[in-house]
Structure formats: structure tokens, C-alpha cells
Structure 1
Amino acid sequence: MAVRREDSVRAVRRALDLLAAINGSRGATVPELVRDSGIPRPTVLRLLATLAEAGYVLRTGRRWEVTPGVARLASGFNFDTWLAATSAPILLELLGKVGWPSDVMMLGGAEIHVRASNRPQCGVAIEANFQGMRSPLADSASGRAYLAWCPEAERRRLIALCVPRAQERAVLRELDATRVRGYGLRDAALKPPVGAIAVPVMLGASVACVLDLVFLPRVEPVERIAARCLGPLREAAAGLSAAFATLHQAAPVRPADAPSGTPGQDGTAC
């Protein structure tokens, strides 16, 4: 009997779901896969045999694990292209709501870097040469948002890297204030005199990236910016969180659900 097209497509999707489940759990038994996938046991066994024959999984005792062959499936993945395509509509919608430019910031060593931005679409020119701009973690809005909501062990490691010991207590106090406030705030002493607020984009208990909003304090003070723009900024962060969750097969977390509470080539920070 010929296999219907919809049946063959469903088999492919089920095989990919099983492969993702085994990879995400670092190994699983057949009963666990049946329970978590909802796929009948005979089908699970048949799909596992097919994946094993293709070199993607192997059996160790009662557990099935992925092989190094799965790395081939991601070898052509370009993260920067994915981030640009994923964040572009979110950043454009955010710009339409708030009128000020925003950046997607990601950790790089002891700094946080611009990885995507809506500055080219914004009529307000704030550091138009934003490509590759970086911010210090302890003083920028985005860096403070990252440190405030990242796991404690990571926070301790990063603070040890980028903060002189004599300043650690002051930085920790600012991070406490950041969690209470609900967003990172750029140190007003930094030059040039631009303002920024930032919220984390959560991936489970970790920070996937940070979304900032850059403005001119002489045009709109930070209090008004926070009152007017924090809601849309959090909504945009939630959209990015959902995208990262899909990419990593994790649960998205809104910044508001996290624990309560313009960078330049020369280190100028947002």
C-alpha cells in the first residue's frame, strides 16, 4: 500500500521532534519519549531505528543519546542572519510605538555589544555609526540589565572581571535598584550626554540578550521615557524571548516576570 504524502510528512516531523527531545534532555529512555512526545511506542521505536541508521542517535543501555552527527544539522546555521531577520519586525514595531532607537545587545567577554538595531530606520540620529559598538557592563543600561537578571554565579564571575574590588558594593547596590526599578539605567556621568534604559530578554533563567532604548534627556527626561516606553519595550523583549525559546526549545520569560525588582567604538555606553 502506498504511503500517503501527509503520513510521510508527519513521520518526518515526529522524527525531528524525537531528535530534539533526545538532544534537549541529554538522553532519554523509550518510555520517557513516549510519555513526553505522545507518539505511540511502536512508532517511537521505528523512528529511533531510522535515526540510528542515519547516524543521529545511538543506544547506551536503556537510554538513547544523540551522536556527533547532529552537529552537521546546524553547521550551516548563521546566528547573525537569524537574529537580524527575527529582530527586524520587532524593532520596527517598537520604533513606531516609542519614536526612539533601540538595540539588541549581547554579551561579549566583559562587555555588551550591539548585534541588531533599528537606528537606520529612526529619524533621530544618535550615534549613527553603531556597527560593533560596545558598552561596559557596570555603567551602561544594557550591561546593568544583563547583570541584574543573569544567574548569580554568572553575575559574580562577570563582576570580578569588569569591576574593581573597591567598587563592587556600589555596583551591587545599583543592580538591586535595577531589579526594583524594573530596567537598567545608563550612568548619567557617561559621555556623550545621551540616555538609555534597557530590559533583559530572558531564556529560562538566563539572559539571552538585552533590549535597550536610547534617547536624548534634554528632549525627553528619563522619568517620562520610562512611563511612556517601558511597556512597549517589555512587549518587544517578550517577542524576542519567544523567538529565542523557539530556537533553543526553552520556555520564554517576560522581563516583568524576572526577579523583581549609545555604545561607541571608544567604549561610549548605552
Structure 2
Amino acid sequence: METPPRREESVRAVRRALDLLATINASRGATVPELVRDSGIPRPTVLRLLATLAEAGYVLRSPQGRRWEVTPRVARLASGFNFDTWLAATSAPILVDLLGKVGWPSDVMMLGGTEIHVRASNRPQCGVAIEADFHGMRSPLAQSASGRAYLAWCPEVERRRLLALCVPRAQERAVLRELEATRRRGYGLRDASLKPPVGAIAVPVMLGASVACVLDLVFLPRVEPVERIAARCLAPLREAALALSGAFAKLHAVGPDAHPTDDPSIAPGQRHADP
């Protein structure tokens, strides 16, 4: 009678199959030599895994016979994925830790059309009641701290497209100046004319060269001015943003070359200095 594989071997085989499937998906198709190189899996194992994945209907060989590609069946693997649940579970410990360090509430903000929306927050855990009805709250891109952080660090093509949609032509030059100031400063700053009269600073959460989301910190300027907030809270805010960036990189299987080793909101000369 055939001896069943040990538990450790079975788990490793499943992990390798999933890693190989992710590699094929990320590369939009690959040859066997490319898969061996990119996955680090030995060629004989790659061939066996490809045969198994093809038999299961998750990959197929191109008509030319050289490249392997995923099939529509892979979409079933993500059909039960709930992004909001993942974001809430992933960001919760990061936000709670941040709250303990700075004492002011923070939100995870994501782009939605020409506005930026609250998608997760530690406000329920914060003793300072700032806009308690924050669920689904939206902020303008060109005036909010989060919107400015998004625009300042998103790719140029995306920035131009968004500005054309949400900023009148006559105001575009002033907005571009503010975005340049945002990059020099290292964080987005809320326009003081926005209502209600609260303060906010924000930093980007990067996914490669793109902005996955933005992490803000909301405060009361009459209690603590923005200069003191930046000096005291910017470093922990950036640390939290990098932690979120790492989580997004794992979710999207971003390669090592795009891993968030540096925060783009920190100027090169500031990387080892206090904010």
C-alpha cells in the first residue's frame, strides 16, 4: 500500500502550486524557464505542478505551446473575497497601535471617483469625539489632507486625469503648487477653509509606484497646533503607513523590487532625521 505523503510535504506542495499560479497570473503568462527563474521552484517540480494545475482547469498552454497562462477559472478563487473585511482586519491592529502612540484618531482613506472616502478608522477606540458619524464620510481631493496626499504621490498620468475632473482650470496652477509643497513637507495638510474646523495631516500608503490608500490623522488645532502634531506624530504615522503598505504588497503579490522599503513622503535627506 502506498504511503501517504507527510503533512509537511503536502503543505509545501500546496504552497508551491499557489505560488506558481500567482507567478503566472502576475506575469500575464510565462514560459517554463521564466517560471523556474521567477518562482525559484526546480524545473521538474514546475512541470509537475503545471500538469496538475492544467488538469484542474486553472492554467493552459498557449496555442504556440511555449507560454502558460491562467484561465477564467482562477476568478473563482477570489469570488468570496471581501475587501472591506480584509481591510478592517488588516488595518485594525495597525490603527490601534497608532492611536496609542499619538492619541488622535486616524482613518484609512481610499479613492472613490473624484473624492476620497473613509474605509477604516480607529475613531470608535478614541476618547476624542471628532465627527463621530464618520462612516462613508467623503472629502474633496484638492482640499482635504488625504486627497492632497493622494494627488501628490500618485503617478503623473493619474494626477492629471483626476485634476481635470475635480479642479477648475483656473485653479489648477494653485493646486499644483500646493501638491509640490505637500511633497516637500512630507504630508498632506487639510485646507483650513473646509468645514468642520478640524485639522488633519495625511501620508500615502504605497503599492509599488501607485497609491493604494492614504492614512490620515485628525486633530483639533485649538488643542494642538499642526506644527506640534507634525513634529510629534508624523514618524508614527509614517510607520503605520509602511505597515499597511506591506499588507497591500502581500495581498497583490508585489515583487521584491516594489516592496515598501522606503516611504516616498520622506525626502532623502530626512530618512534618518526626526520630522
TM over 0.5: yes
The separation in 2 between residues aligned to 1:116 and 1:84, in whole angstroms, is 6
Structure-1 residue corresponding to 2:202? 198
Residues 181-233 of structure 1 show CA distances to partners (whole Å, capped at 9, x for unaligned) of 00000001112211000000000000000000000000000000000000000
Q: Which moved more, 1:46-55 or 1:245-254?
A: 245-254
The separation in 2 between residues aligned to 1:79 and 1:166, in whole angstroms, is 38
Structure-2 residue corresponding to 1:57? 59
Residues 46-69 of structure 1 show CA distances to partners (whole Å, capped at 9, x for unaligned) of 100000010100001311000000
Structure-1 residue corresponding to 2:114? 110
Structure-1 residue corresponding to 2:193? 189
Structure-1 residue corresponding to 2:273? none
Structure-1 residue corresponding to 2:271? none
1:72 counterpart (73, 76, 87)? 76
The separation in 2 between residues aligned to 1:20 and 1:213, in whole angstroms, is 35
Shift in Å at residue 35 of structure 1? 1.3
Please say if 1:150 is aligned against 2:154: yes
The separation in 2 between residues aligned to 1:249 and 1:258, in whole angstroms, is 23
Note if contact 2:153-2:264 (Cα within 8 Å) is conserved in structure 1. Answer: no
Shift in Å at residue 255 of structure 1? 6.4
The separation in 2 between residues aligned to 1:256 and 1:47, in whole angstroms, is 37
Structure-1 residue corresponding to 2:16? 14
Q: Which secondary structure state, in structure 1, belongs to the residue aligned with residue 104 of structure 2?
A: coil
**Residue 184 of structure 2 aligns to which amino acid in structure 1?**
V
Q: Which secondary structure state, in structure 1, belongs to the residue aligned with residue 191 of structure 2?
A: coil
Please say if 1:180 is aligned against 2:184: yes
Structure-2 residue corresponding to 1:265? none
Note if contact 2:186-2:266 (Cα within 8 Å) is conserved in structure 1. Answer: no
Number of residue pairs the alignment of both structures matches = 261
Please say if 1:253 is aligned against 2:266: no
**Residue 187 of structure 2 aligns to which amino acid in structure 1?**
Y
Q: Which moved more, 1:137-146 or 1:187-196?
A: 187-196
Query: If the length of structure 1 is used for normalisation, what is the TM-score?
Result: 0.94
Structure-2 residue corresponding to 1:165? 169
Q: List gaps (5 residues or longer) in structure 1.
A: 262-270
Cα distance change on mapping 1:115 and 1:255 into 2, 3 Å: farther
1:78-89 equivalent positions in 2, closer than 5 A: 78-89=82-93
Q: List gaps (5 residues or longer) in structure 2.
A: 269-275
**Residue 154 of structure 1 aligns to which amino acid in structure 2?**
E
The separation in 2 between residues aligned to 1:38 and 1:147, in whole angstroms, is 37
Structure-1 residue corresponding to 2:30? 28
Please say if 1:243 is aligned against 2:247: yes
Cα distance change on mapping 1:229 and 1:203 into 2, 3 Å: same
Residues 59-103 of structure 1 show CA distances to partners (whole Å, capped at 9, x for unaligned) of 013110000000000000000000000000000000000000000
Note if contact 1:149-1:259 (Cα within 8 Å) is conserved in structure 2. Answer: no
Q: Which secondary structure state, in structure 1, belongs to the residue aligned with residue 80 of structure 2?
A: coil
Structure showing greater relative contact order (alpha-carbon pairs closer than 8 Å, 6 or more residues apart): 1
Structure-2 residue corresponding to 1:231? 235
Please say if 1:130 is aligned against 2:134: yes
Q: Which secondary structure state, in structure 2, belongs to the residue aligned with residue 256 of structure 1?
A: coil
Shift in Å at residue 38 of structure 1? 1.9
- Give structure 1 regions of 4+ aligned residues with deviation exceeding 2 angstroms: 251-261
Q: Which secondary structure state, in structure 2, belongs to the residue aligned with residue 218 of structure 1?
A: coil
Q: Which moved more, 1:103-112 or 1:247-256?
A: 247-256
Q: Give the % identical residues.
A: 86
Q: Which secondary structure state, in structure 1, belongs to the residue aligned with residue 263 of structure 2?
A: helix
Q: Which secondary structure state, in structure 2, belongs to the residue aligned with residue 257 of structure 1?
A: coil
Cα distance change on mapping 1:121 and 1:254 into 2, 3 Å: farther
Q: Which moved more, 1:76-85 or 1:184-193?
A: 184-193
The separation in 1 between residues aligned to 2:245 and 2:204, in whole angstroms, is 9
**Residue 154 of structure 2 aligns to which amino acid in structure 1?**
C
The separation in 2 between residues aligned to 1:158 and 1:12, in whole angstroms, is 42
